């Protein structure tokens, strides 16, 4: 099955390789979607692909990199859009 989850992380998540590491892991798992910085200091991502791979990425987002600190994570399931490529924006 394919699913899509949008996740917004807050805490120390910008300037600590959070987006880059997120994209590397998502690509390794064959996921589509995106990750981007938000103007308010949070990081937003959407992961689309196999259920288990999406679940792995949502779990990773809760911990992040060695340099980050995730204080809060909002996750919501969405309808898949057909994303096959994973992009880093902003």
From the list 37, 42, 61, 69, the catalytic residue is: 37
From the list 4, 19, 42, 61, the catalytic residue is: 19
Residue 19 burial by Cβ neighbours in a 10 Å radius (0-12, 13-18, 19+): buried
Phi, psi of 53, deg, nearest 5: -65, -40
Residue 4 annotated to the active site? no
Q: Torsion angle, CA of 21/76/5/56, rounded to 10 degrees?
A: 60
Residue 19 annotated to the active site? yes
Task: Compute the distance between CA of residue 31 and CA of residue 57 in angstroms, rounded to an integer.
Answer: 9
Instruction: Kindly list the catalytic residues.
Output: 19, 37
């Amino acid at each position: 099955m394919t699913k899509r989850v949008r996740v917004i992380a807050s805490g120390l998540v910008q300037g600590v390789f959070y987006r880059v590491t997120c994209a590397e892991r998502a690509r390794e798992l064959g996921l589509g979607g995106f990750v981007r910085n938000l103007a308010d200091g949070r990081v937003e991502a959407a992961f689309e692909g196999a259920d288990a791979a999406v679940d792995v990425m949502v779990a990773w987002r809760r911990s992040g990199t060695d340099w980050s600190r995730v204080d809060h994570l909002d996750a919501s399931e969405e309808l898949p859009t057909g994303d096959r490529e994973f992009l880093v924006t902003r």
